[in-house]
Amino acid sequence: MDYRFSKKIRMKTALITGSSRGLGRALATVFASNKYNLILHGRDSVLLEKVRTDVFKYDVACEIVKGDLRAEDTISKLAAIAKEKDIDILINNAGVYMKRPFLDMASSDFREIIDINLIVPILLTHKIFPILQEKRSGLIININSIAGKVGGDGETAYCASKHGLRGFANALQFDATRSNVRVININLGAMKTDMSKGREGWSKFIHPMDVANKIFELCGEYPSMWVNEIDINRRIY
């Protein structure tokens, strides 16, 4: 057994989906540097292994799971490791983006975007929530978008998925509050990642490390308040 996951030396554990690049990788770095053990998911085994190698310098434990989150066995594997490692924080970060006129979208495009951005977080949370409920503590963070609050030109599928994710987070608050579990919906403006690289003004987008540091700050325990939702917008236009 890795001593860092042992009960004697209690370090908190965070599960981050989509952690091989972009915001997910930044989150892995920030949480590891603050002495969190990690469970990291990604679809690129080479990049995922590189992230694990990078975070080891912080002397934390790190489990990696490669796979498509739309596959039931990937979600089940993550949930099993989360239970074994006594998870404290779930960050639903994995997502896809597509900007395309409505009538140019294929049915497969809608299914992919809504499956990954909405159905996957719901199903993974459904598996993880009982672990946190039993502990009567923990935190679920959904990486959402400003597109989850307003419409965008050419973003019909993306906005539908993100509006749905926001609705899910808002409704989950009722069950979570009864179980002493926190849920935070993070609505992000345009961020400087590979996913947004083709968009105009990319050089002025939000840096992932700035977002990762703010998210870690939100994980702190406050005696008299919970943060349920926050907007993070671009500073430069």
| Beta strands, E only, 125-192 | 139-145, 182-188
- Distance, CA of 235 to CA of 33 (rounded, Å): 26
**Residue 183 CB coordination number (10 Å):** 26
Q: Which residues of 119-134 are buried (b: 16+ CB within 10 A; e: fewer)?
A: bbbebbbebbbebbbe
Q: Which of 36, 58, 158, 222 is catalytic?
A: 158
State residue 145 phi and psi, 5-degree precision. -155, 155
- Distance, CA of 234 to CA of 130 (rounded, Å): 36
Question: Of 174, 172, 185, 182, whose CA–CA distance to 226 is shortest?
Answer: 182
State yes or no: is 97 an active-site residue.
no
Kindly list the catalytic residues: 158
